[in-house]
Structure 1
Amino acid sequence: MTKRDDRPKDAGDLRHRAEEVARETAVQATEAPTDFSPEELLRTLHELRVHQIELEMQNEELRRAQAEIDAVRARYFDLYDLAPAGYCTLSKEGLILEANLTLATLLGLARAALLKQPVSRFVFKEDQDIYYLHRRKLLETGESHDCDLRLVKPDGVPFWAHLNETAARAEDGAPLRLVMVTDITERKRRDVELREAKQLIDAVIENIPLMVFLKEPRDLRFVVFNQAGEDLLGYERKELLGKNDLDLFPPEQATFFTAKDREVLATDVLLDIPEEPIQTAKKGERLLHTRKVSIKGADGVTKYLLGISEDITERRQAERALEESRRFNESMLRNIPFPMDIVDEDGRVLFLSDKLRELVGDQTLGEHCWTRYRDDKHPCDNCPLKREIAIGETHVIETSGVLGGRIFENVHTGMVFEGKRALLEVFIDVTEKKRLQTRVAQSDRLSTMGTLAAGVAHEINNPLT
């Protein structure tokens, strides 16, 4: 970027050259006519003085212009050397003719060590083909061309660089290539991270067992659909992308879906739809639990509408079956023809059969069984709650003085009720049975005593001889 300067270096040099010119013209001056009149001499002297002043003014302007040129040239070289990008000039053969300090720093060499070196020497071996094609396009078209490749430093460590080359001509007309080199290692690293992050997100979306879709906000056409969505709806992805709900579903359902989409886009809040029917191609009508939200770009403008749907058909069917079973079991338990309850591990009453409800009333629910059944503040002495009863295990105890002073055989069975460990109690009233047993025992005793008395009387009346 340097050029030889033949301009005089100072005023003394200029004076010396002027004297040489004056001596060369002195001979010609002696041959000129000398018969001037005084008026002509004065006029000539005046002209010479004016011309001298003009030359001095021109010389001052030239010095000022030269100072400005030198300042601009200095700024240019500073910009060239200290530019954030590397610059170099290549010959037609690809040899480095000039290079700035930034390029020397990027390549890890002194600037002088770069000169006359082929630039291909610094291209990473695996990227030589990239550079060859890049150079070939530049030579064929003569237009500016860009490429990304790896350059390598003397220690063998490669780094990513962006090359921009432009064809040019030297002052003598020789072809040149002007190259700008930018270190893009960090950008490439971010690109890799972004690509890996996108691949991860794509893999998650593709393999998540929920239907995931994206719609563009204007016409609500599908732009992304995952495998679970294909399986649920019974369509291939190519049949879904580019279409909207009106193209795929019955009018009533499509209108509902579209209205909900517009609601999300208008409010910018997450919309939770607990249950919505959808007609599929192969599975008939299904029930979905869907959440929808708008996705905005960095500029704050909505780019997509995101939907995530879970097929809850089997769950709803199971819930309905469970509810029907619960109602059936509750009805059956309520109508058992003897008193029955369910108590938790603390002895609080959770459920009453209608027969027991008639005896103790609805207020018993939530109370301790011993306070309602025996009007006591403490559990029974033989209460099964004092020991752990396994689920399905059954124990039978006899209690008296409960529920109006009657006697019961209590059958206790461990169970789970409404998600908690509990105890099923069946009250079998044995009051009359016990009374009958008492009478029978008394009758047996009287019969025995009568038999004994008859024998004694017989012996008295018929003594042994």
Structure 2
Amino acid sequence: MTRRKLNSGNTPPQPVPHATPPSNAPLQAEAQTSSLQVKAEALDASPLPVALADLEGRLTHINPAYVKLWGLTRATDVLGHPASEAWDDPQAGAKAMNLAREQGTWEGYLFGKHKDGSTFPVRVLGSLIRDGAGSPVALMGCFVDMREQRRTEQELRESQQMLQTVLDTIPVRVFWKDRESKYLGCNRAFAHDAGLNAPDELTGKDDFALGWCEQAERYRIDDRQVIDTGIPKLQYEEPQTTPDGHHIWLRTSKIPLRDLKGSIRGVLGTYEDITERKQAEEALRQSEERFRSIITHTPNVAVEIYDDTGRVLFWSPAATTMFGFTPAQALGKPLDQLFLSAEAAREFSRVLQDVGHTGTAQGPSEWTCELPSGETKIVLSTIFLLPGNAERKCFVCMDVDITAHKRATEALRLSEERLRTVLHVCPLPIAWADARGRIEFVNRRFSEVLGYTILDVPTLDDWFVRAYPDPECRRVIMASWAAEVETARNTVEPIGPVEYQVTCKDGTVRQIELVGRLLTEGLVVIFNDLTDRKRTEEERAKLREQLLQSQKMESVGRLAGGVAHDFNNLLSPILGYAELLMEDYPSSDPRHEMVEQIEHAAKRARELSRQLLAFSRKQILDLKATDLRTIATTFEKMLRATIREDIRIELSLPQSLGLVRADVVQIEQVLMNLALNAQDAMPTGGTLSISLSDVLVKDIDLDDPNTIPPGCYVTLTVSDAGCGMDKATLDRLFEPFFTTKETGRGTGLGLSTAYGIVRQHGGYIQVYSKPGVGSTFRIYLPRVTETVTKTAETPPPPPPPRGGKETIMVVEDNSMVREVICRMLVRLGYRVEPAETPGRGIEIMEREMERIDLLLTDVIMPEMNGRELYDQLRALRPGLRVIFMSGYDSDVVANRGLLQEGVRLLQKPFEAALLSETIRKALEK
């Protein structure tokens, strides 16, 4: 498609007028030709397509131009056919012929129908042909092909539309005025700025009629200058007031508007709104001023600008303060002439090249600077490309002096390292956590005591889950700890101390004391393991209690021993006189029976005294290697005859059992006391169990390993299914004279006696009991590797007392005991020299030295003991025989070093037969 070009010059585009149709004169002349005899040659020579039709509208002749226009092969193809068939709309064609026939002529536009089916616009000039008489004889039509004219008109419209579209699309405002500064046109952007809806609303208006009337006169002067001089006015800035009252800035250009002849018809102008750019330039100017002010007044950040060779182009005041060089000293110099070493300067240049190539800032990075003063500084530098300088690359370097910070950081690192070292060697577990509960540190002792590492307990929640696996316990502990922390936060005091039981990684439970301190962001906690201390305190308290109990028992034992001694002295005359009286009264005498009751009571009192001595560990024991199974078997028979029938006895004996060193009589006494207690605990009957076993005691095999040393033992266990005992009763169980029985039913010496006998055997006794469950007494006797000592056959009954004629000196400070012994000796036929004191005995010996055959003396006396007396008397009479007697047992006498091993000792009270037998053995030896 061919497009018309705009006229050259400065005149605005002009509309193209419609093409002028061909003149009607030739056609009318031909139409008015009055002959049907018009020569066909004349029609055929016409350049315009021509057709003739009869009055009925059938074609009678067409010329070659017609054939060509309709694309026919030959004229005969359509001759005789209605002329209306040549049109796309036959009815419109027929109507046009009717009008020509009626009016004589018709002019208009129709669309022809080409042989190939296409249509094309045709201008039609139709006329009625008359003969010479004026009568109509035919119709003639001349046709003009309008396709090229229509195409040209369309191209012109499209060109004008495109021009207007371009003008409306560009952001630049375009306008044109006549010589009187009245607007001839504009683009849509200008119309919008003027507050108009469309460009055509501007036509005929001037600037005084628009929103910027304040600047209208200035605009008119500028228009006039361009029109009068013909010189364009280009790219100048001017203000404008918009229709809504805002003030903006324009960049305007105006040129003369010329017609085709070059005459100035007006002015063509353009402008663009540069308000935002002006604002940006102002903002940039202010920003640069602020930036320069910031650089100038920022003392801690040095700013330098370098070229691509590393030479200084700008040097801020802070740089002078930081590096010690003034701008005059620094400008134009590379850094190796200032404060960097040659190697560092080369590295700095390489960094500048990298930034220049990539455009990416580098840093912050550390640089070490050697100042002229000898001081070394460390700066943190960020380097970036200075924007807006395409011709020459410049680089901005911003430096922060971090020397003090580095020193402080190093000092802090060393301090933290020392702190961690101290914490790691601290004997107490330590941990600290941040404000979010993340555990940041635990020392070695923490892992050693509790077993957990920081990987096991990364948070406080993990710690509570591990340390307190029971959910309910954990809930209570966490609530307690939270309360302690809140109290510390409100009072600004340390957390705790508080004690909790903590489950360690290996499953053990330890008693831990926690002391903490809230920090700025978190807390630190010290864990003091009290487990061993608590155990030690408990053991110390138990030992203290045992010591007190032992001291109490020892004191009571001493008391019991003293009581037994005095009691024996009282029993001696009672038992002795009873025995003498029984000899004086025949059995038929009623007084004999009364004296016999006195003797029986005295013997029972003597047994009680022996129990006191046993409790005080002063009873003389006959220790032999013994199999406890033999004792238990023998004792079972005696026990069944002693306790009630509703008590069932169960005896459990192993097939083999270790041996112990024991006094059979005393062990039987222990069994009897325990059995009688068990009977009293089962008033309605029950089971009494006696069992024996070998036991190897380790440190933790017993509830209280400190009570029984490790070793090999034989245990004798006596259990009942009785009422049991509470803790208060257990605590006083072995105290002398303590009893839970009714008054008159118990002496309170049964268990204390059993305790004394067991301890005298080097053994231990433990008790397990609960109310309503029953009681178990377990006796531990040391096992020995000796063989069983054979028991001698039952000795024959003692012979009747034998007397003699010898002289016996009796030294006894107790007058009643001395008197009854003298009477017994006289009854036996001996001569007696009584002495109430050792001194008196020495006097008798000095006087009757040759007559005294034997010394019978008390061991413990006020002036001197019996052994000292014997030594002095033996010095007077060598070979003097001696028998000692005492209300104490042999242990007390031996412990005091009063008698040598093997000497004869009579324990008060004694019977005449024993006294007689002992005297005879001493005299006849």
Identify whether the pair has TM-score above 0.5, normalized to the shorter chain: yes
Match of residue 246, structure 1, among 193, 197, 208: 208
Match of residue 369, structure 1, among 334, 339, 347: 334
Instruction: Verify the 8 A CA contact 2:339 2:370 in the aligned structure 1.
Output: no
Instruction: Determine the C-alpha separation between the residues in 1 that align with 2:336 and 2:228.
Output: 59
Instruction: Determine the C-alpha separation between the residues in 2 that align with 1:204 and 1:247.
Output: 27
Give how far 1:296 is off: 4.8
Give how far 1:222 is off: 2.5
Counterpart in 2 of 1:97? 60
Counterpart in 2 of 1:398? 368
Match of residue 84, structure 1, among 39, 47, 50: 47
Instruction: Determine the C-alpha separation between the residues in 1 that align with 2:156 and 2:111.
Output: 20
Instruction: Verify the 8 A CA contact 1:124 1:150 in the aligned structure 2.
Output: yes
Distance 1:319 1:183, change over 3 A: same
Is 1:182 the counterpart of 2:144? The answer is yes
Distance 1:234 1:108, change over 3 A: closer
Give how far 1:189 is off: 2.5
User: Aligned AA for 2:398?
Assistant: E
Instruction: Verify the 8 A CA contact 2:175 2:186 in the aligned structure 1.
Output: yes
Counterpart in 1 of 2:222? 260
Instruction: Determine the C-alpha separation between the residues in 1 that align with 2:366 and 2:386.
Output: 20
Counterpart in 1 of 2:248? 286
Counterpart in 1 of 2:79? 115
Q: Relative CO higher for 1 or 2, CA cutoff 8 Å, sep ≥ 6?
A: 1
User: Aligned AA for 2:382?
Assistant: T
Give how far 1:157 is off: 2.9
Number of residue equivalences: 359
Instruction: Determine the C-alpha separation between the residues in 2 that align with 1:111 and 1:223.
Output: 55
Q: Secondary structure at the match of 1:205?
A: helix
Deviation track 1:7-38 (CA, whole Å, cap 9, x = no partner) reads: xxxxxxxxxxxxxxxxxxxxxxxxxxxxxxxx
Instruction: Verify the 8 A CA contact 2:183 2:206 in the aligned structure 1.
Output: yes
Distance 1:81 1:268, change over 3 A: farther
Give how far 1:233 is off: 2.8
Give how far 1:345 is off: 5.2
Structure 2: unaligned runs, 5 residues or longer: 1-32, 411-925
Instruction: Determine the C-alpha separation between the residues in 1 that align with 2:101 and 2:224.
Output: 55
Distance 1:85 1:245, change over 3 A: same
Match of residue 161, structure 1, among 118, 122, 144: 122
Counterpart in 2 of 1:425? 398
Give how far 1:81 is off: 3.0
Instruction: Determine the C-alpha separation between the residues in 2 that align with 1:255 and 1:233.
Output: 16
Where does 1:378-457 land on structure 2 (aligned, <5 Å)? 380-383=345-348, 384-385=351-352, 387-388=354-355, 390-391=360-361, 393-400=363-370, 407-419=376-388, 422-426=395-399, 428=401
Counterpart in 1 of 2:88? 124
Deviation track 1:143-186 (CA, whole Å, cap 9, x = no partner) reads: 55243x43222221333333233444344521644432222323
Instruction: Determine the C-alpha separation between the residues in 2 that align with 1:129 and 1:207.
Output: 46
Q: Secondary structure at the match of 1:105?
A: helix
Give how far 1:135 is off: 5.2
Counterpart in 1 of 2:511? none
Give how far 1:324 is off: 0.7
Distance 1:302 1:387, change over 3 A: closer
Instruction: Verify the 8 A CA contact 2:253 2:270 in the aligned structure 1.
Output: yes
Instruction: Verify the 8 A CA contact 1:407 1:429 in the aligned structure 2.
Output: no
Where does 1:295-334 land on structure 2 (aligned, <5 Å)? 296=258, 300=262, 305-334=267-296
Counterpart in 1 of 2:730? none
Give how far 1:131 is off: 4.8
Give how far 1:281 is off: 1.5
Instruction: Determine the C-alpha separation between the residues in 1 that align with 2:45 and 2:311.
Output: 86
Give how far 1:429 is off: 10
Instruction: Verify the 8 A CA contact 2:336 2:342 in the aligned structure 1.
Output: yes
Give how far 1:218 is off: 3.4
Counterpart in 1 of 2:823? none
Is 1:198 the counterpart of 2:171? The answer is no
Instruction: Verify the 8 A CA contact 2:121 2:145 in the aligned structure 1.
Output: yes
Is 1:343 the counterpart of 2:316? The answer is no
Is 1:273 the counterpart of 2:238? The answer is no
Counterpart in 2 of 1:219? 180
Per the normalisation by structure 2, the TM-score is 0.34
Single out whichever of 274-283 and 329-338 deviates more from structure 2.
329-338
Instruction: Determine the C-alpha separation between the residues in 2 that align with 1:304 and 1:297.
Output: 9
Give how far 1:119 is off: 2.7
Give how far 1:392 is off: 7.4
Deviation track 1:63-122 (CA, whole Å, cap 9, x = no partner) reads: xxxxxxxxxx99x946x5344322233444433333322122111222343433333212
User: Aligned AA for 2:395?
Assistant: A
Give how far 1:320 is off: 0.8
Instruction: Verify the 8 A CA contact 1:233 1:282 in the aligned structure 2.
Output: no
Give how far 1:412 is off: 1.8
Instruction: Verify the 8 A CA contact 2:251 2:271 in the aligned structure 1.
Output: yes
Instruction: Determine the C-alpha separation between the residues in 1 that align with 2:253 and 2:182.
Output: 17
Instruction: Determine the C-alpha separation between the residues in 2 that align with 1:89 and 1:4.
Output: 10
Instruction: Verify the 8 A CA contact 1:295 1:304 in the aligned structure 2.
Output: yes
Structure 1: unaligned runs, 5 residues or longer: 6-72, 438-465
Instruction: Determine the C-alpha separation between the residues in 2 that align with 1:244 and 1:321.
Output: 35
Q: Secondary structure at the match of 2:57?
A: coil
Instruction: Verify the 8 A CA contact 1:88 1:103 in the aligned structure 2.
Output: yes
Instruction: Determine the C-alpha separation between the residues in 2 that align with 1:223 and 1:116.
Output: 58
Counterpart in 2 of 1:234? 195
Instruction: Verify the 8 A CA contact 2:179 2:266 in the aligned structure 1.
Output: no
Deviation track 1:210-230 (CA, whole Å, cap 9, x = no partner) reads: 433333x23332233444334
Give how far 1:369 is off: 3.4
Give how far 1:288 is off: 1.6
Counterpart in 2 of 1:59? none
Distance 1:363 1:84, change over 3 A: farther
Instruction: Verify the 8 A CA contact 2:212 2:242 in the aligned structure 1.
Output: no
Single out whichever of 329-338 and 138-147 deviates more from structure 2.
138-147
Instruction: Verify the 8 A CA contact 1:107 1:152 in the aligned structure 2.
Output: yes
User: Aligned AA for 2:275?
Assistant: T
Q: Secondary structure at the match of 2:305?
A: strand
Instruction: Verify the 8 A CA contact 1:280 1:286 in the aligned structure 2.
Output: yes
Instruction: Verify the 8 A CA contact 1:334 1:352 in the aligned structure 2.
Output: no
Instruction: Verify the 8 A CA contact 2:208 2:216 in the aligned structure 1.
Output: yes
User: Aligned AA for 2:387?
Assistant: E
Larger Rg: 2
Q: Secondary structure at the match of 2:162?
A: helix
Distance 1:405 1:101, change over 3 A: farther
Give how far 1:329 is off: 0.7
Instruction: Verify the 8 A CA contact 2:306 2:313 in the aligned structure 1.
Output: yes
User: Aligned AA for 1:369?
Assistant: P
% identity of equivalent residues? 25
Instruction: Determine the C-alpha separation between the residues in 2 that align with 1:302 and 1:169.
Output: 57
CA RMSD in angstroms comes to 4.2
Distance 1:117 1:261, change over 3 A: farther
